[in-house]
Amino acid sequence: METVLSGIRPTGNLHLGNYFGAVQNFIKMQESYNCFFFIADWHSLTTHPTPQDLHNNVTQILAEYLACGIDPEKATLYVQSEVPEIAELYLLLNMNAYVGELERTTTFKDKVRAQPENVNAGLLTYPVLQTADIIIHKATKVPVGKDQEQNVEIARKYARRFNQMYNVECFPEPMPFNFGENLVKIPGLDGSGKMGKSEGNGIFLYEDAESIRKKVMRAVTDAGPTIPNSEVSEPIQNLFTIMKSVSKPETLQFFTEAYANCTIRYGDLKKQLAEDIIAFTSPFKQRIDDIKANKKYLHDVVNLGTQKARESASKTLQEVRNIIGFKQW
């Protein structure tokens, strides 16, 4: 059985793009793959969250994953910082990673431009920690979007470098994995590309109804069609794409036909879309609240995930230590 690994930083709630683009497929994958899903709290330290925010954010993402249907009995669901073996492998890999190559990575350069006042060493070696996350479980598939494929390629390079340096076949080279025909891309409400946490264009699974209505009513549109059967503009197609995921087929059909015959009223479209999103997300919000209130269940889930993740990680780390030459006295 192939091993799949995916992590998420606890820096914001899951949005519709996360759910339809990734989590929905994770739920299917846990039935047929050896899945490791983790909350990357060490990675979030590059932005210096407060201690209270860090813990609350980890709890929120954990509850959201569980509410979406990730099964801790079928998949290994864990918190990164509960697995110290990752930190040791990160240290060992850093000895074979070079400053020049890390400075050239796209993600590092993007972060430097975005936050020039906070260019810390954690940002520079971020890809090394990502590599440790992946290869400590000898994962072969890493579900990522196109914008993250370079990070998987870096992990492949460091796995290959270790194997060649010590003339071993310790680590398989992980491959980026997208869901092909099952990949659903949910656009943002601002008419520009995909939905994101930081772009301010997302609808979250854990969001109150009034906030959803306000966001949808502010969504970018156009002046409206003037010629029958004209091509749908990108901002309106974005709204139709979201509607396809959360609304009934006949609802989408009604508005696409209204666009085609130039009778569409964008106010009506947005009101209907907002109510359909609320109807879709409300059960998730309720489940998230119920799970967060059950401290014992969360504690048990984290303990189980930690046990399973450390069992896998310790085997790999012991193998690595022996290869490098750290022998037991």
The predicted model gives 169-184 an average pLDDT of 84
The predicted model gives 279-290 an average pLDDT of 97
The predicted model gives 172-191 an average pLDDT of 81
The predicted model gives 306-312 an average pLDDT of 98
Which range among 42-46, 133-137, 264-268, 325-329 shows the weakest confidence by mean pLDDT?
Answer: 325-329
Within 13 Å and on the Cβ side, how many CA atoms surround 27? Answer: 14
The first and second tokens of residue 297, run together, are 């269940």
For residue 181, the tally of other CB atoms under 10 A from its CB is 5
Among 48, 41, 43, 54, smallest CA distance to 82 is for 41
Q: Nearest 5°: CA angle at 278, between 274 and 282?
A: 170
- Report the predicted TM-score, pTM, of the whole model to 2 decimal places: 0.91
The predicted model gives 200-211 an average pLDDT of 92
Residue 203 has pLDDT above 90, yes or no: yes
297-303: long-range contacts, CB 8 A cutoff, minimum separation 24: 298/59, 298/62, 298/63, 301/62, 301/66, 301/72, 301/77, 302/62, 302/78, 302/79, 302/82
Ramachandran assignment for 292, one of left (phi > 0), alpha (psi -120 to 50 degrees), beta (any other): alpha
Select the more confidently predicted residue: 194 or 173.
173
The first and second tokens of residue 168, run together, are 């071993």
Q: What is the pLDDT of residue 309?
A: 98
Q: Give the span between the Cα atoms of 312 and 244, in whole angstroms.
A: 40
Count, in order, helices (H) and strands (E) of the chain. 15, 5
Pairing of strands 141-143, 175-177: parallel
Q: Which domains does the chain have, with CATH numbers?
A: 3-185+294-324 (3.40.50.620), 209-288 (1.10.240.10)
Q: What is the pLDDT of residue 198?
A: 61
Residue 37 bridge partners (DSSP): 6, 77
Question: Where in the sequence numbering do the catalytic residues fall?
Answer: 111, 194, 197
Q: What is the pLDDT of residue 11?
A: 87
Among 129, 157, 134, smallest CA distance to 144 is for 134
Identify residue 226 by its one-letter amino acid code.
T
Q: Which residue's structure tokens are 């954010």?
A: 57
Within 13 Å and on the Cβ side, how many CA atoms surround 267? Answer: 0
High-pLDDT (> 90) share of the chain, %? 81
Q: What is the pLDDT of residue 279?
A: 98
Which range among 24-38, 116-130, 149-163, 179-193 shows the weakest confidence by mean pLDDT?
Answer: 179-193
Q: Which residue's structure tokens are 């697995």?
A: 83
- Cα dist. 179→20, 141, 183 in Å? 11, 11, 5
Q: What is the pLDDT of residue 39?
A: 97
Residue 206 contacts residue 288 (beta carbons within 8 Å): yes
User: How deeply is 317 buried, as exposed, middle or buried, from its count of CB atoms within 10 A (0-12, 13-18, 19+)?
Assistant: buried
Where would I find the H helices in 9-105? 16-18, 24-29, 41-44, 51-68, 84-94, 99-103
Write the CB contacts of 206 (distance below 8 Å, at least 6 apart in sequence): 13, 14, 60, 64, 281, 284, 285, 288
The predicted model gives 157-176 an average pLDDT of 97
Residue 143 contacts residue 22 (beta carbons within 8 Å): yes
Q: What is the pLDDT of residue 192?
A: 65
Chain centroid to CA 62: 12
Q: Which residue's structure tokens are 């796209």?
A: 106
Report pLDDT digits (tens) over 86-130: 999 999 999 999 999 999 998 889 888 988 999 999 999 999 999
pLDDT band of 43, cuts 50, 70, 90: very high
Residue 199 has pLDDT above 90, yes or no: no
